[in-house]
Chains A and B, each alone.
Chain A
Amino acid sequence: MMAGRTFGAKLAAGFGLTLALTLIMTATSVLALRYVLVTKDKVIRIASTSLVEAQTLNALMERRIADYRSYLLSGSPEARTNVDRDRANFLQQINRVRAALEDPAAIKLLDAVTAAEATHAKVIDDVMAQRAKLPRTIDVRELNTEGVRQSRETIQNAIVNLVTRLKKVVDDTREESSTRAMWSIILIIGIGALLIAGSAGVAWRLSRDLRREVGAAVGHIQSSSAELEAAAAQQASGGRDQSSAMNEITTTISELLITSRQIAESAQRVSKVAEDTAEAARNGDATIDETRASINAIRAQVDQIVQHMLALGEKSQQIGVVVDLVSELAEQTNILAINATIEASGAGEWGRRFAVVAEEIRKLADRTAGSAKEIRALIEDVRGAVNTTVMATEIGAKAVDTGSRQFDDATSSFRRIAQLVATTSDATREIELSTKQQTTAVEQVSSAASDTARASRETEASAVQTKQTAAQLSTLSGDLLDLVGTGRH
C-alpha cells in the first residue's frame, strides 16, 4: 500500500496513524470519565435529594405530632395554627419528594404515604374538634383518641418504607455506576493496548522500509559513485588526448592560414587573367560580326551561281532543240540527196553530173549530221557539267549553311564563353574576397582552438577533481549503509 511513496510521506503516515489512535484514546477516556461522573452525580443526587427529603418527611411528621400533642394539652389556638402549618409543610415536602423521584416503586410508596397522611389528618382533625369543645384545662384521657395511634404508625411505616426503598435505589444506582466505571477502565486499557500495538507496528514498518529503501538507494549511490569515478578517470584521459589533439589542430590551422593566403594571391592573379580574357572576348566579338557578314556574302554568291548555272542548263537545252532541228534538216537533206542520186542515175550524162552535185549535197548533209551529233554530245557534256556544278554548288550552299549554323553555334558558344568569362571574373573576385574572409575566419578558429586546448586542460583537471569527489562519495555511502544497518559495502 505504501509502495512508491516517499519516505517522508511514510513517516508522516506513521505518525499520523499514531496521533489518530492517541486522539481516539483521549476522546474515549474523556467520554468514559464523563459517563462515570454523570452516573455518580445521579447517585449523589438521588441520595442527597430524594433520601434526605424523604427523611425530612419523617422529621416533619414528628414535629406535627409534637404540635398536635401540644394543642391537645394546651388547647390554645396558637398550637392549632402550628398544627395546620405543620401539615402544610408536610404536604409541601411530599410534593418536593415527588418532584425528586424517578423510581416508579418509590412513587407508589409516596402515594401510600400521601394516603396514610390523609387518613391520619382526618383522624387528628376529629380529635382536635373534640378538644376544642372542652375547657382549657382538661384531662386528656377524656378524649376519644382511638385510631390516632394506628394511623400514626401507618404513616410512619409508609415513610420508613419510602426511605428504605430510596436507600435501595441509591445502592443500586451506585453499583451500576461502579460497574460502568469498571467497563470504561477496561475499554481505555484496550484502546491503550491497541495504540501501543499500532505504534509498534508503524515503528517496525518504518524501520524496515528505512533499511530496505534507503539501503538500496545508498547502494545505488555507492555503485553510481564508483561508475562516476571510472567515468571521471576516462574523462581525464580523454581530456589529455583532446588537449594533444587540439595542439595538432592548432598547428594544422596555422598551415591552413598560410595556404589560404596563397589561395587569395592565386585568386587575384586569376581575376587579372579573367579580365584580360573578357577584353579579348570583346575584341573577338567584332571579328565574329565581320566573319558573319562574309559568310552571308558567300551565301548570296553561291545562290547567284546556282541561278546562273540553272540558266546555263536551260540555254543548253534550247541549243539541243535547235541542234535536233539541224539534225532533222540534215537527215532530210541526206534523203533528198539519196533520192536525187537515184533519179540522176537514170538520167544519162546530165544525170551523172547532177549525181556529183547530189553526192556533195549528201556529204554535206552527212557532215552536218555528224557535227550536230558532236554538238549534241557537247551539249550533253555541258548539261552534265551544269548538273554536276549545280549539285556541287548546292552541296557548297548546304556546306555554307551548315558552316553558317556551325558558325552561329560557335558564335553563341563564343558569347557564352565571354559571359562565362565575365562570370568567372566575378566568381574569382568573390573567391578572392571569400578567401580573405576565410583567412580571418581561420585566424579566429586558431584562437578558438587555443581556447579549446586550454578548456581541455581545465576539463582534465576538473575530471581529476570529480574522480576524488566520487571516491569520497563512495566512502560516505558506505558509512551511510552502516548507519542504516544493512551492513552492505
Chain B
Amino acid sequence: MTTSQDRARAMTTSLDRTAVTTDADVVTRMARLRHEFDHSFAEPVRRHDEEHVELLAIRAGGHPYALRLAQTQGLHPDRPVTPLPGSVPSLLGLAGFAGTVVPVYDLAALLGHPVAGRPRWLVLPLGTPPLGLAFHELDGHVRVAADAIVAEDAAAGRRGCLRGMVGLDGLARPLVDVPATRAVVHALAGHTIEAGHTTEEVAR
C-alpha cells in the first residue's frame, strides 16, 4: 500500500511540474512563433530564394535520404496502387493521377534495399513519361542553405541514383537524384533517355 501511495504521489508531483514547465514554455514558444511568422514576411524574396535549397527528408527501406523538391511535381500520401504482374521486383504497380496512369516504382528497391512493407508516400518526379517513386516515411520538408549540400559531379561516370550528400540535424543524408533515378528506371524498363532531358538540365 505504501508503494502504491508513493507512486501516486510521485505521479502527481510529475504532472504538476510538467504543467508548470508547459505554461512557461508555451508563452515563450508562442512569442517566438509570432516573431518568426512576422519576420518571414519581412525578409526580401530574392535572398529567400537564392541562398537556399528546398529538400524533402525521407526514409526508404529504413535508411534516411533527401530529395530536391525542385526535381518533383507532387507529393501524395496513401494513393491506391494497382499491382501489375511482372518480373521487375521494384515495380509496385499502377496509380492514377489526374486522368493519367502512372507506373509506381519502389525507391527502396531501386536504392538496393530489400522491400520492407508497403510504402505510404508517392512522389512524382519532373519530366516525361510520368513516373511515381514510392517511399516509406516522410521526415519533413526542409530548407537548407545551398552550401550545406556536398555536391558530386554527375559527369564522373557514376551510375546509380545518388548524387551528393546533405547534413540535416547532425545526420548525413545521401541526396537522391531524381533524373538519375528516372534513368535507372528507364534502364530497367528498356527505354532510352531523350536528348533534351538530361540530368544536368533538370537540375539547373
Is B75 a contact of A359 with CB atoms below 8 Å? no
By DSSP majority rule, is chain B's interface helix, strand, loop, or mixed?
helix
Is A356 a contact of B8 with CB atoms below 8 Å? no
A366 proximity list for chain B (CB < 8 A): 140
A359, A391, A395: the one within 8 Å of B143 (CB): A359
B15 proximity list for chain A (CB < 8 A): 381-382, 385
Interface size on B, residues (CB 8 A): 32
B8, B33, B54, B140: the one within 8 Å of A392 (CB): B8
Given A352-B49, A360-B37, A385-B15; A342-B8 close (CB under 8 Å): no
9-residue interface stretch from B65-73, B92-100, B103-111: B65-73
Given A388-B7, A388-B11, A395-B4; A338-B75 close (CB under 8 Å): yes
B198 within 8 A of A: no
Q: For residues 223 through 248 of chain A, which have their beta carbon under 8 Å from a beta carbon of chain B?
A: none
B37 proximity list for chain A (CB < 8 A): 360, 363-364
B14 proximity list for chain A (CB < 8 A): 381, 385
Given A339-B74, A341-B69, A362-B141; A385-B11 close (CB under 8 Å): yes
A381 proximity list for chain B (CB < 8 A): 14-15, 18
Q: CA A254 – CA B41 in complex, angstroms?
A: 121
Is A399 a contact of B1 with CB atoms below 8 Å? yes
User: How far in angstroms is the closest Cβ of chain A from B70?
Assistant: 6
B48 proximity list for chain A (CB < 8 A): 352, 356
B5 proximity list for chain A (CB < 8 A): 392, 396
Interface size class on chain A is: 20 to 34
A378 proximity list for chain B (CB < 8 A): 18, 22
A331 proximity list for chain B (CB < 8 A): 77
Q: CA A388 – CA B8 in complex, angstroms?
A: 7
Q: For residues 9 through 32 of chain B, which have their beta carbon under 8 Å from a beta carbon of chain A?
A: 11-12, 14-15, 18, 22
Is A342 a contact of B73 with CB atoms below 8 Å? yes
Q: CA A378 – CA B72 in complex, angstroms?
A: 37
B22, B33, B70, B141: the one within 8 Å of A337 (CB): B141
Q: CA A341 – CA B11 in complex, angstroms?
A: 45
Is B49 a contact of A341 with CB atoms below 8 Å? no
Is A367 a contact of B141 with CB atoms below 8 Å? no
Is A392 a contact of B7 with CB atoms below 8 Å? yes
Given A345-B69, A378-B18, A385-B12; A392-B40 close (CB under 8 Å): no
Is B11 a contact of A338 with CB atoms below 8 Å? no
28 cross-chain CB contacts under 8 A: A334-B141, A335-B75, A338-B69, A338-B141, A339-B74, A341-B69, A342-B69, A342-B75, A345-B69, A346-B73, A352-B48, A352-B49, A353-B45, A355-B49, A356-B41, A359-B143, A360-B41, A378-B22, A381-B15, A382-B15, A385-B11, A385-B12, A388-B7, A388-B8, A388-B11, A392-B4, A392-B8, A399-B1
A→B interface (CB under 8 Å): 331, 334-335, 337-339, 341-342, 345-346, 349, 352-353, 355-356, 359-360, 362-364, 366-367, 378, 381-382, 384-385, 388-389, 391-392, 395-396, 399
